[in-house]
Chains A and B, each alone.
Chain A
Amino acid sequence: MLLIFEQFLNGLQIGLLLFLLAAGLTLVFGIMDMVNLAHGSLYMMGAYFAAVFTEWTGSFFLGAALALPAGALLGIAVEVIALRTLYTRDHLDQVLATFGLILFFNELARLMFGAGGMTIQTPDWLQGQIMVLPGLPYPSYRFLIILVGLLCAAFLYVLVQRTRLGMLIRAGASNREMVGALGVNIKQLFTLVFGLGSALAALAGLMAGPVTTVQIGMGDNILILALVVIVIGGIGSLPGAFIAALAIGIIDTMGRAFLPNILGSFLSPSEASTLATALSSMLIYILMAAVLVLRPAGLFPAPGR
């Protein structure tokens, strides 16, 4: 029983990281109608920035605190230089151009930081465990990820539902032209949203860094998952992204944790593991295909779509 709860926490942690990444992606897609494949690169650069700043300052928190604005600035720079012209283009052009940006960023990271990847050292007090439930010690760092993820989700909720900026975001996701017609500085709004999304991606990257190591191309695979999340959740919908990300994180973790045991009763451990990993991944894509066919707007679409 405790094992199931522990795996649930693991899935929650992965899901929340995915949410942070998908949040920026869905906002940009919802408001600017732009597919940004380079979002995964911002995730990777956030992790690298944190690794470098942590090395310089000797403190993980300081490094993280510096990496966030750095990531946001990088995102804004990319938006202004390369992406502004893409808003009016069709999705294929956006996909191709941002695909090119992925290639560029991967090589840039390799040039700047070397081919070997980097590590982020978390402080000693985060290397222990905390007693989440009696008899269930859980690694402190992962618990921190869950806390930060939930805090961000709450922050985004307040931002989107209770502030003027949030209102503009929701309006923009529903009907962009109308918002522009009503006299809102759309360009500024876009840049702001993009910066926010980039900061979130950087945060996801720097939190994942200590767990998965910082390496070239670390954003590519999680990017596809993030795309799946926003399609399932509904483009432009933060609550949708939240639910979909958690669902995917939990399905994937539970699948990889328990499927091998189930399959292991009639397959060798290696075969069971191979099949289990493939099945959990396939499950996620089957879910996405089903949503696309049955409810193309997603499970929780922004109103007006």
Chain B
Amino acid sequence: MSSASHSSAAPTADSTRLSFIVGLVLLGFLGLIPILSVAFEDPFLLTLFTRIVIMAIAAVSLNLILGYGGMVSFGHAAYIGVGGYTVGILAFHGVHAAWIQWPLAVLISGIVAALIGLLSLRTKGIFFIMITLALSQLVYYLGNGAFAYGGDDGLNIMKRSDFGGLLNLDNRPTFYYLCWVILLATVFFVHRTVNSRFGMVLQGAKSNDRRMATIGFPVHRYQLTAFVLAGMICGLAGVLTATFTGFISPAMMHWSRSGDLIVMVVLGGMGSLFGPVFGTVAFLLLEEVLSSWTEYWKIVFGPLLVLVVLFARGGIDGAMVRGQAGTLLAGCAAFFLLYGIHTAYEDEWLIPTLILVAACALVWVAKWAVDRKKAASHD
């Protein structure tokens, strides 16, 4: 194969910078959503992306311990529940001031994370995965058993929290921008943490914790700190979820939701700065779009996940860094085209889709022929 075809090259300074730039562009694009929502007269767009931004915050927090720290927590969704329930329970008892609810929720998430971390970090590997799963299931069943707060039917939050006139959280674009700013802050925080001494120790522990311990670092303490920080940020995501949907239920803490979070992080690229954001956007958009086409969308998603794990380690970000940005963009473009076609044509999507597929095939064949000719002329 000639070098003109896409190759899995080693990361270069260019490709790494590319992934960084794409990440910034995506974050910028996310900031435009409220404007687009008004332009297209589509309030659902804003709803969808609010959910995406909030989930991205949770994914970024998971990436800190999973991607950079190598701690595979299969119970991260529990903190969404803890944060959400704190807000819900306080609202149930008439406390609607966000100044009280939000910091308290983050604090309690941190405490729960500390407890879970203390128990879990004594173990490694598959046992760590299992014990984080078990402990988050404990929290899940705790929610189920809280009959005063709805148990597994969940709890309605009758009145949205307020910052006492400072910000009107009932205004959807305002709320969206608050979430967006928190996402930016979280990404920035992770960026600084990871590149600090603390972050270096964490990443060193990921590759070989015995070596780090031998050098003299109290590895356990560093890992626990990271675990608690991740838990607190995720708790904040829980606060935002509860505030946004006005409803919390234990289902948000179920282990399958933790699984979804891990998928988002891995799909986007573990251990990369914008990876979790890519992954969340990709996962939730795919879910939304595919589910409106067919109710059997997971039949595509399941094997897709398997394939990513087997062949595309490093996820979306990894693909960019390895010089496969072109393929990625082609895939994205094709996908958005299909979405556009489906929305625009609705029931008559078949013909335009076939035209698009035929066009792609033509272009690909043309490119292949050109490449072959080039290769032939080189030899």
Interface residues of A (CB under 8 A from B): 35, 82, 85-86, 89, 91-93, 95-97, 99-108, 110-111, 220, 224, 227-228, 231, 270-271, 274-275, 277-279, 281-282, 285-286, 288-289, 292-293, 296
Known: A108-B299, A275-B145. A292 touches B263 (CB 8 A): no
Known: A270-B147, A292-B127. A103 touches B302 (CB 8 A): yes
**Chain B, interface SS category:** helix
Is residue B182 within 8 Å, beta carbon to beta carbon, of the partner chain? no
Return B322 CB to nearest CB of chain A, in Å.
Answer: 18
User: 23 A-B pairs, CB-CB below 8 angstroms?
Assistant: A35-B129, A89-B309, A91-B126, A92-B72, A97-B305, A100-B306, A101-B306, A105-B302, A108-B299, A220-B256, A231-B134, A271-B147, A274-B144, A274-B147, A275-B147, A277-B144, A278-B145, A282-B141, A285-B134, A285-B135, A292-B130, A293-B119, A293-B131
Known: A92-B72, A285-B134, A289-B119. A104 touches B127 (CB 8 A): no
Contacting pair B134 A102 (CB below 8 A) = no
Contacting pair A278 B141 (CB below 8 A) = yes
0 or 1 for each of B189-210: is its CB under 8 Å from A? (1 = yes): 0000000000000000000000
Complex: A286 Cα to B146 Cα, angstroms: 18
Contacting pair B131 A289 (CB below 8 A) = yes
Complex: A134 Cα to B74 Cα, angstroms: 49
Inter-chain contacts of B148 with A (CB < 8 A): 271
Of the candidates A91, A110, A282, the one whose C-beta lies within 8 Å of that of B138 is A282
8 more CB-based (< 8 A) A-B contacts, given A97-B306, A296-B127: A35-B129, A91-B129, A100-B309, A103-B299, A271-B147, A278-B146, A285-B141, A288-B131
Contacting pair A227 B130 (CB below 8 A) = yes
Complex: A104 Cα to B142 Cα, angstroms: 30
Contacting pair A111 B296 (CB below 8 A) = yes
Contacting pair B255 A224 (CB below 8 A) = yes
Return A301 CB to nearest CB of chain B, in Å.
Answer: 12
Complex: A271 Cα to B151 Cα, angstroms: 9
0 or 1 for each of B28-54: is its CB under 8 Å from A? (1 = yes): 000000000000000000000000000
Complex: A105 Cα to B262 Cα, angstroms: 20
Is residue B106 within 8 Å, beta carbon to beta carbon, of the partner chain? no
Return B75 CB to nearest CB of chain A, in Å.
Answer: 11
Is residue B165 within 8 Å, beta carbon to beta carbon, of the partner chain? no
Inter-chain contacts of B123 with A (CB < 8 A): 292-293, 296
Is residue B303 within 8 Å, beta carbon to beta carbon, of the partner chain? yes
Return A298 CB to nearest CB of chain B, in Å.
Answer: 10
Complex: A282 Cα to B134 Cα, angstroms: 9
Complex: A278 Cα to B138 Cα, angstroms: 9
Inter-chain contacts of A85 with B (CB < 8 A): 310
Return B144 CB to nearest CB of chain A, in Å.
Answer: 5
Of the candidates A86, A111, A271, A289, the one whose C-beta lies within 8 Å of that of B299 is A111
Complex: A170 Cα to B137 Cα, angstroms: 32
Inter-chain contacts of B137 with A (CB < 8 A): 224, 281, 285
Contacting pair B302 A104 (CB below 8 A) = yes
B255-287 contacts to A (CB < 8 Å): 255-256, 259, 262-263, 266
Is residue B357 within 8 Å, beta carbon to beta carbon, of the partner chain? no
Residue of A nearest to B255 (CB): A224
0 or 1 for each of B128-172: is its CB under 8 Å from A? (1 = yes): 011101110110011011111001000000000000000000000
Of the candidates A96, A111, A277, A279, the one whose C-beta lies within 8 Å of that of B262 is A96
Return B313 CB to nearest CB of chain A, in Å.
Answer: 8
Contacting pair A107 B74 (CB below 8 A) = no
Residue of A nearest to B70 (CB): A92
Contacting pair A107 B302 (CB below 8 A) = yes
Complex: A105 Cα to B310 Cα, angstroms: 18
Is residue B298 within 8 Å, beta carbon to beta carbon, of the partner chain? yes
Known: A99-B259, A103-B305, A281-B141. A35 touches B131 (CB 8 A): no
Is residue B304 within 8 Å, beta carbon to beta carbon, of the partner chain? yes
Contacting pair B138 A95 (CB below 8 A) = no
Inter-chain contacts of A95 with B (CB < 8 A): 72, 74, 129, 262
Return A135 CB to nearest CB of chain B, in Å.
Answer: 35
Is residue B301 within 8 Å, beta carbon to beta carbon, of the partner chain? yes
Inter-chain contacts of A96 with B (CB < 8 A): 262-263, 266, 305, 309
Contacting pair A100 B305 (CB below 8 A) = yes
Contacting pair B147 A231 (CB below 8 A) = no
Question: Closest 3 CB pairs between A and B?
Answer: A278-B145, A104-B302, A100-B305
Inter-chain contacts of B72 with A (CB < 8 A): 91-92, 95
Complex: A110 Cα to B295 Cα, angstroms: 10
Residue of B nearest to A230 (CB): B130
B286-326 contacts to A (CB < 8 Å): 295-299, 301-306, 309-310, 313
Inter-chain contacts of B298 with A (CB < 8 A): 103-104, 106-107
Contacting pair B309 A278 (CB below 8 A) = no
Complex: A293 Cα to B128 Cα, angstroms: 10
B44-87 contacts to A (CB < 8 Å): 72, 74
